Amino acid sequence: MGTTLREIIYDIGGGIPNGREFKAAQTGGPSGGCIPKDNLDIAIDYESLASIGSMMGSGGLIVMDDTKCMVNLAKFYLGFTVDESCGKCTPCRIGTKRMYEILEKITEGNGEEEDLEKLAVLCENIRNTSVCGLGQTAPNPVISTMKYFMDEYKEHVADKKCKTGECKALADIQIDPEKCKGCGLCKRNCPVDAISGEIKQPHKIDKEKCIKCGTCISKCPFKAIS
């Protein structure tokens, strides 16, 4: 108790792998909150975590790098709560499902500005009126990500864009002609034949055919596709 998050991640844990940057840490399991890098020096104890909207919970700690989409993450954790709800009280049984549907709508590129307002209202109502601790803490991942990463929510809604690429429906996969060597690996591995190009010449992606599976990104040895 009292050890800082920075000490746990960088001293004990050895830092973020593959040279990536720290983005957030989730404490307390699915009902916990996300802690941004501005709070890396927070002490890990009950009171300190509660003061920034997180919780100790079961003591679990998940550390995320800058490749993670916080909107998609909130949806992931809320999906767990929806499955675990006993269904006794309406706020938890129905409210969490409505929240999940809104997050799904946003991550699929169909979000609207009013959806963010609905999420905020649902978070407060579910937290204040649920019968047990599951429902009362269910909104925490949404509340904390909206508090610290609202720019990502707005980007998903207004620009229909997910900068991490995790939300496949919002991905815009491109080949950098300056980095592309024309090896053809991406073309050979594309499951829908959406990539064209001659050997040793920059290749192109047909946006109409592309299903945004990300296979080409993982297969490119020159990191020319992003």
Q: Specify the CATH number of the domain 1-66.
A: 3.10.20.600
| pLDDT tens track for 55-95 | 888 888 999 999 999 999 999 999 999 999 999 999 999 99
Please state which CATH class domain 69-169 belongs to. mainly alpha
Q: Which residues contact 47 (CB under 8 A, 6 or more apart)?
A: none
What are the sequence ranges of the domains in the chain?
Answer: 1-66, 69-169, 173-226
| pLDDT tens track for 184-203 | 999 999 999 999 999 999 99
Residues 17 and 9: beta-carbon distance below 8 Å: no
pLDDT grade for 15, boundaries at 50, 70 and 90 = very high
Q: Specify the CATH number of the domain 173-226.
A: 3.30.70.20
Residues 181 and 222: beta-carbon distance below 8 Å: yes
The CA–CA distances, whole Å, from 106 to 34, 69, 122, 180 equal 19, 12, 15, 33
* pLDDT value, residue 214: 84
- Is residue 168 scored above 90 in pLDDT? no
- How many beta carbons lie within 10 A of that of residue 48, not counting itself? 17
Residues 99 and 122: beta-carbon distance below 8 Å: yes
| pLDDT tens track for 106-163 | 999 999 999 999 999 999 999 999 999 999 999 999 999 999 999 999 999 999 999 8
Residues 68 and 166: beta-carbon distance below 8 Å: yes
* pLDDT value, residue 104: 96
* pLDDT value, residue 57: 82
* pLDDT value, residue 171: 80
Which is higher by pLDDT, 226 or 204? 204
Q: Which residues contact 215 (CB under 8 A, 6 or more apart)?
A: 186, 189, 190, 191
What is the widest separation between alpha-carbon atoms in the chain? 64
